[in-house]
Amino acid sequence: MTDLINTNLAQSIINTASQKNLKITTAESCTGGLIGGTLTAVSGSSSVYDGGFITYANEAKRDMLAVPWDLLMEKGAVSAEVAEAMALGALRQTSPRCQLAVSVTGVAGPGGGTAEKPVGLVYFGLATDFDQGNTLVKNQKIIFREVRRDSIRQRTVETALKMLQQAIDRVPDK
């Protein structure tokens, strides 16, 4: 069922973003490219999806998205601040082609969780630049209570797609 939901969301995103002449990029950690894969499963996605960054390691976040190393060390890769920096970095790397960037970083499990950052904790970032130079960055935190890694990752994809759809829906038609 989740795959059907994600496919329908991706189709809607591609259709709506195409109508509004918007381009999207992704910055993924815990999903390892699943958001981009879901978007590109839709025919016609090349008119909307520019590409993505799979930045699983801290060094990749730093090198590919310009996430400050001191931020990674101070807050940790799984944090609101890093999710925002990832989204902003992806948008900056693809500007002016892209107007939307979504990012995810989290603990997909089954190991790796702590009391402060339990398995299922995911931070989402969304950076938009619909008005050249007027960048808006938002974040969201969710703790998915599923115990299976694949469930956490699928729910993360679904949430990221919903964030993209909501942002696209706020853009007036051209």
In angstroms, the CA 1 to CA 37 distance is 17
CA 127 to chain centre: 9
Average pLDDT over residues 38-61: 97
Domains of the chain: 2-169 (3.90.950.20)
Alpha helices in the chain (DSSP H): 2-19, 34-40, 58-65, 69-75, 80-94, 149-169
Query: Taking the model in full, what pTM does it have?
Result: 0.95
What digits encode the pLDDT tens for the residues 93-148?
999 999 999 999 999 999 999 999 999 999 999 999 987 666 788 999 999 997 79
15-48 pLDDT, tens digit each: 999 999 999 999 999 999 999 999 999 999 999 9
pLDDT of residue 137: 87
